[in-house]
Amino acid sequence: MKTKRIAALQCTALFGGLTTEALTDIAQRAVELHLQKGEMLFLSGEPAKGLFVVVRGKIRAFQQNEDGREQVMYVDAAGSVLGDVPVFDDGPYPASAIAEADAEVLFIEKSDIRELCAKYPSLALAALRLMAGKVRKHATLVEALSLHEVGQRLALFLLAEAQSAIFPTDVPMAFRLRLSNHEIASRIGSVRDVVSRAFSRLKHQGLISMDDRDVTILDLHGLKRYAANARSSACASPK
């Protein structure tokens, strides 16, 4: 089982650059946890006990307001690290995390992480790089929510989904949406009805077509232009 934990640690940006000796040391301290789909990993505001490494499955980090409206911060798959920020700033978990599918994670206690950073300086540098990357991701999310209309956010989401697939050059880009409109709304900071209307606008403008949850991008360059025009239009248009 230790070999499996070492392999999982090697796949992360935080631990991947460490020596075999260091990885073995960390693996001995890691605890394996198994989550079923819908099971909470931690709640926003809870005291942070340590960080988590995703070995298998997907974990969704999100914030939720009093009305139950959810804003997804990110969805982490195998090789991702969660809960690292409060390990170092002594604050609570800044968001909630839930298993989006059956998942397996490794848990490493806060005291162990701090001891390991002192023992292996390269781990401390990797932690700084990891947190810097998350700051950039959050800045991008803030920019999208504040400077883009819902239609542009949806266009950006569809472009990102399309990038994860490979298409022949002589046919339109087509892919199946894995998420419902409600789930997409939580990704892009909106609500289901507004997202549905945004889909209708994209179809009306000839940028995409839809058959149930199958999306075809009819005009890739046009969709990119539509998303890029957000900066100039967002200030004059409601979210």
Q: Tens digit of pLDDT for each residue in 92-144?
A: 998 999 999 999 999 999 999 999 999 999 999 999 888 888 777 767 667 66
Average pLDDT over residues 202-227: 91
Residue of 217, 101, 198 whose CA lies nearest to 159 = 217
CA distances from 105 to 110, 167, 221 (A): 16, 33, 40
Phi then psi dihedrals of residue 62, to 5 deg: -155, 160
Report, at the CATH architecture level, how domain 2-145 is classified: Sandwich (2.60)
Rg (alpha carbons) of the chain, rounded to whole number: 20
Pick the CATH number of 149-234 from 1.10.10.10, 1.20.1070.10, 3.90.1150.10, 3.50.50.60: 1.10.10.10
Q: Where are the domains of the chain?
A: 2-145, 149-234
Output 207 or 135, whichever has higher pLDDT: 207
pTM of the model: 0.67
Q: State residue 206's pLDDT score.
A: 93
Type of residue at 63: Q
Q: What is the pLDDT of residues 48-104, one digit of tens each?
A: 999 999 999 999 999 887 777 778 888 889 999 999 989 988 899 989 999 999 999
